Structure 1
């Protein structure tokens, strides 16, 4: 078996084991949530007999380990069951919301990845200049602020005061691409400001770290321009750490959008998970968390494989 294929199989097996551990942690964490779905639906005036009958109907009277095994078996076959709050198939609920989350993540990635690479290359090319210092201060400031703070600042100025963009990102059904891009610009911009800083700083650091290598010095002695030294000689060897940080930030764009979706009332998977927690709709919360975890594991695996493809020396232990 090819070493890369063998490593891929090993990483997939380890990823499945990790996903199993995460599923157990998710179930235990949700079990510890206060409140009860039956009391949430029936109200405080419901009698204990009515609550007990409703719990039997929903299967909540079974022991926790039996409910976990039943849920895990359904998840392995792609059947997440039905929502306890509204009786709809969880797969249908997740499909539309997950598509919206992917659209928002792709929108932000299409802006942030090229922008981060461009700024990182310029900062490395003009290291120590006013541009480099300005970009470093701006990115450090962006990293320091939490997402909800950035989101509310953008809402205050771009929506409330200036009225350039809507404060609610829900574009409804049947909207064209232009309307979708316009109504989701503020949440996408929030994500761009958060993730661009990490990717830009890693790009800059990876390039500058290679500029001290002997082959870079030889290229300079041959009369190569600074731009050619960076783009032709340094960048190809810096792709491995850059790809890793880009893949990790893409994973964040999909799995870390919960706060942004809640702030802008965006109908994505994160908003669905928050609503389900409020309603004590346990199967929906478990399914959403499991999908987030699976995507994060897959993108980490893709980052490792792409890094090895650009630098085969990483396959060896020494």
Structure 2
């Protein structure tokens, strides 16, 4: 078997194993919370008889392991089940919300990834000079501030005071493409500020590491300019670690948008997950958790494979 095919098979097997572990962990943590979906629906004033009847109707009176493996069997067949609280099909409810989350993550990536690579190259070009120090200071400051705080500050100054963008990121199918972009402008800015520092710092560090190589010194001795040395020789050979950190941050843009979606009342997966965690709706929480875990594991697997394909020593191990 070719080493690349063997590697992909191993990564896929490990990914499925991690998904199983993540689903079991999410189910266990949700079950450990006080109360259940019946209690959330009926409230604190519910009588024991009413709770018992509703729990039997929801199937909550069965053992936890039985419910988990029934849900797992449905997942294998492509059935996410029904919500306990509203009886709606989870797959249909998640469909549009997942599309909204991916829409937000896509535009955040379109802005943040090229900007981070450009700033990383600029920082290398002016290493240890004021542009490098300014870029590092600004990006490290933004990553040190919680995203919800950045969101509220932007809402107050940009949306309320200046009136540039909508303070609430509400989108629907009746809106035009440009109206949707205007609505998600503030969440995109917040996500960009949060992930920018990771990618910029890794780009800078990877290129500086390559700049110490002999072939880079040879290129400099040939009379190439500093910028030509960076983008022709250093950057292509620093792709592997840059791809890794870009994939990790793309995974965060999809998985870590929960706080941003709640701040801007964005109708995505994060808001949907938070709403059903408060209702103790275990099937919905499990479905959202597994989808998030699958996206995160998948992007990390792609990063591993790309890093190996970009490195001849890993492509052809001895």
Answer yes or no: same fold by TM over 0.5.
yes
RMSD: 1.2
Q: What's the CA shift string for 1:122-174, capped at 9, x where partnerless?
A: 11011111111100100110111111111111111111211111111012232
Partner residue, 1:124: 124
Partner residue, 1:3: 3
Q: What's the CA shift string for 1:147-203, capped at 9, x where partnerless?
A: 111111111111121111111101223211101100000001100011111101110
Q: What's the CA shift string for 1:69-89, capped at 9, x where partnerless?
A: 111111111111111111100
CA distance in 1: counterparts of 2:218 and 2:211, whole angstroms: 11
Matches for 1:53-72 after TM superposition, within 5 Å? 53-72=53-72
Give 3-state SS (helix, strand or coil) of 2:174's partner.
coil
The alignment of Structure 1 onto Structure 2 pairs a total of residues equal to 318
- Tell whether the 8 Å contact from 2:116 to 2:200 is kept in structure 1 after alignment: yes
Matches for 1:140-159 after TM superposition, within 5 Å? 140-159=140-159
The answer to whether the aligner puts 1:243 opposite 2:243 as a matched pair is yes
The answer to whether the aligner puts 1:290 opposite 2:294 as a matched pair is no
Give 3-state SS (helix, strand or coil) of 1:169's partner.
coil
Q: What's the CA shift string for 1:239-296, capped at 9, x where partnerless?
A: 0000000000000000000000000000000000000011121110110011000110
TM-score by length of 2: 0.98
Q: Which moved more, 1:240-249 or 1:170-179?
A: 170-179
The answer to whether the aligner puts 1:217 opposite 2:217 as a matched pair is yes
Q: What's the CA shift string for 1:48-92, capped at 9, x where partnerless?
A: 112111111110000111011111111111111111111100001
Partner residue, 1:188: 188
Partner residue, 1:268: 268
CA distance in 2: counterparts of 1:102 and 1:129, whole angstroms: 38
Task: Give ranges in structure 1 of 5+ residues lacking alignment.
Answer: none
Q: CA deviation at 1:316?
A: 6.1
Matches for 1:103-182 after TM superposition, within 5 Å? 103-182=103-182
CA distance in 2: counterparts of 1:279 and 1:316, whole angstroms: 52
Partner residue, 1:206: 206
- Tell whether the 8 Å contact from 2:309 to 2:315 is kept in structure 1 after alignment: no
Give 3-state SS (helix, strand or coil) of 1:246's partner.
helix
Give 3-state SS (helix, strand or coil) of 1:34's partner.
coil
CA distance in 2: counterparts of 1:98 and 1:266, whole angstroms: 11
TM-score by length of 1: 0.98
